[in-house]
Amino acid sequence: KANYNMLRVWGGGTYEADIFYDLCDEAGILLFHDLMFAGGMYPGNASFLRNVEEELTEQITRLRNHPSIAFWNGNNEIQEGWDNWGWKGNMTEEVKSLLYGWFEDLFLELAPS
């Protein structure tokens, strides 16, 4: 009844080729786009965070001007695990702040509202 169509690009999958986004733009199909993080707690070490920063910089910069992307989702079910499955219980406050704050800062830099 809202008169729009939306697809989800799932976080356990892959970033699609440019043609996919071009066709969604042309057809007026909106995308709920996950980043490729799904269902698990990822390491917070410097090497992994550098890898994530490179991935997000490349993908978000490549895709952010597509009008079909209506919504970016940063973590599939990771927020649920963080809040309710005890994942953060094994981490120090410093590590929790690093992981959560680092991701939020990076995302806001690359995909401002």
Q: 21 and 60 in contact (C-beta within 8 Å)?
A: no
- How far does Cα 90 stand from its chain's mean position? 24
Residue from 16, 55, 77, 94 carrying the catalytic annotation? 77
Q: What is the pTM of this model?
A: 0.77
Q: 2 and 26 in contact (C-beta within 8 Å)?
A: no
Using one digit for the tens of pLDDT, what is the confidence trace for 98-110? Answer: 777 777 787 778 7
Does residue 73 carry a pLDDT above 80?
yes
Using one digit for the tens of pLDDT, what is the confidence trace for 1-54? Answer: 777 799 999 888 889 999 999 999 999 999 999 888 777 777 777 888 889 889
Residues ≥6 apart with Cβ < 8 Å to 111? 60, 64, 72
- 80 tagged catalytic: no
Using one digit for the tens of pLDDT, what is the confidence trace for 81-96? Answer: 878 888 878 788 887 7
> What is the pLDDT at residue 69?
95
Query: What letter represents residue 110's amino acid?
Result: L
Sheet containing 5-9: give its strands across: 5-9, 29-34, 69-73
